[in-house]
Amino acid sequence: MTVPQKIDRHTFLANLRESGLLPAQQLETAIDGLPETERARVVARTFVDRGLITKFQAEMLLAGRTGGFILGQYRILDQLGRGGMGRVFKAEHQTMNRVVALKVLAGHLVKTEKAQLMFQREVRAAARLVHPNIVTAYDANQIGDRYYLVMEYVDGPNLEELVRDLGPLPIGQACEFIRQAALGLQYAHELGMVHRDIKPANLLVQHGKGQGAGCNVKILDFGLARLHADGDPGEASEDSIMTAHNTVMGTPDYMAPEQARDLHKVDIRSDLYSLGCTFFYLLTGHVPYPGGSTMEKLVRHTTEETPQVEDARANIPAPVAAIVRRLMAKDPNARFQTPTELAAALAPFAVQGPTGWAGHESRFYLSDSPAVTPLQFGGDDAAVRPNDPDGSSALAGTLSNDLLLTPMSVTELPSMLIRRAVQQDQRRRLKIAVAVAVSLVSSAVVLVSWLMLR
């Protein structure tokens, strides 16, 4: 990995001045009170400690970035992560002082007509969703070649981070989180929408105010949602997601068997299957079918028996284990048929309360340690270099996608390969069954012959 060149005090201040992050008068006043040092990192840390710039902004300036901190009315404060269609930033509306999350499409994707159509569909889908258990969309716009969606900022972890840091959740709390997610899905279901990528990383936790206050779960990213015609939920409208029929989209660890076979024939019960896999993860700390390749995961969801959650955690009440099993049934008709039905089943076991989440320091460092490079974000592909081809913008790639259990949030595979793999697995199982049957028959014949001889 190329290490960005170190800069001195003068260069850092020149970068800050050119960035426009601070008004000229405020910058000059701040410079007068700086410590006498030529070390740019010490100077940057002073600005951060005074609340004049954020750690993210400081790291970008130290890396030589001078532009891309302002997008329309929004001032970029931090980077939160990235998904299949772009990156998400924490930002502040410069007039309203409202903190928001900005989802910005990747620069190379926005140049294609398909990406623009998908973005427009996501905007239309998000605009219809106003519910306490769904992340609210405030605005959408295009500036130059940057398309972005402005969303509610949730100052809390996603459920994958929560379990990764704290381990399996208390049973009552896990039931409450899934119950709240079901309420959000029911609202979307009544609007004819399916999420298609329900997983722990897409469920955010907003902490309540005050000691002992409960939490609010919010569903993130209806970007894979398919809108149906208002009259007939089975008929796809002109707003349906534009995807080839031989394509699989979703996250393999949480994908319903029917979704792996045909993206266009899923319904709310497919989201409920994914929610069941998420429930399994919250209760056990691992996915239902760990290990293996993407293809192997998809086949196992289709052909293997549903794992018993009580085998992985002994103290789970039998009714809760039965709910998980029903959610993860291979046949959609055997699952809960609506999220409301699921929410009602979980209500007797749900317990509201704080998560115990202490939060994390920023991923961006301002250390004097020689072992810490000016941009150490946690992955080999994570460093931002001043000469990146995607330009002199803090909106370019700056963070590795390390928040998911699976290597991709959107998997694109020919569905016929999945069907073929499932068929091969079924043939293999049939051959084993036939071999066992033949062996049993042979043993029976030998036993009968022996008895007759006696």
pLDDT, block means (10 residues), the chain with 454 residues: 66 91 90 86 92 92 88 90 76 91 76 74 80 90 83 90 93 96 95 89 84 81 48 39 52 86 82 96 94 84 89 93 95 95 96 74 38 27 31 28 33 54 63 68 74 76
**Cα-based angle 179, 184, 187 (whole degrees, multiple of 5):** 125
Residues of the chain with CATH 3.30.200.20: 9-152
Fill in the DSSP letter of residue 33.
Answer: T
Exposure string of 350-366, with b = 16+ CB inside 10 Å and e = fewer, is bebeebeeeeeeebbbb
Instruction: Provide the token pair at 305.
Output: 């028996």
Closest CA to 256 of 222, 291, 302: 302
Q: What's the confidence (pLDDT) of residue 384? A: 32
pLDDT of residue 425: 62
Show the tokens assigned to 135. Answer: 């992340």
Residue extent(s) of CATH 1.10.510.10 domains in the chain: 159-349
**Residue 183, token pair as written in the block:** 């309420």
For every residue of 88-100, DSSP letters joined together read: EEEEEETTT--EE
Pair 111, 145: CB distance under 8 Å: yes
Q: At the topology level of CATH, where does 159-349 sit?
A: Transferase(Phosphotransferase); domain 1 (1.10.510)
pLDDT in the model for residue 437: 67
pLDDT of residue 284: 94
- Asked if residues 230 and 193 have their Cβ atoms less than 8 Å apart, the reply is no
Q: Give helix 171-190 / helix 339-346 axis angle, nearest 10°.
A: 160
Residue that is written with structure tokens 């800069």 in the block: 7
Catalytically annotated residues:
197
pLDDT of residue 365: 35
Topology annotation, domain 9-152: Phosphorylase Kinase; domain 1 (3.30.200)
Whole-angstrom distance, CA of residue 226 vs CA of residue 242: 9
Does the predicted model carry a pTM greater than 0.95? no
d(CA 311, CA 254): 19
Q: How many CB atoms lie within 10 A of CB 433?
A: 10
pLDDT value for 86? 73
Q: Tell me which residue has tokens 């959650």.
A: 309
CA distances from 305 to 148, 300, 308, 318, 328 (A): 42, 8, 9, 18, 10
Handedness of CA 226, 231, 234, 238 (dihedral sign): negative
Distance separating alpha carbons of residues 249 and 267, to the nearest angstrom: 14
CA distance 198 to 354: 23
Alpha carbon distances (Å) from 366 to 27, 260, 363: 20, 44, 10
* Angle (nearest 5°) at CA 209 between 205 and 213: 75
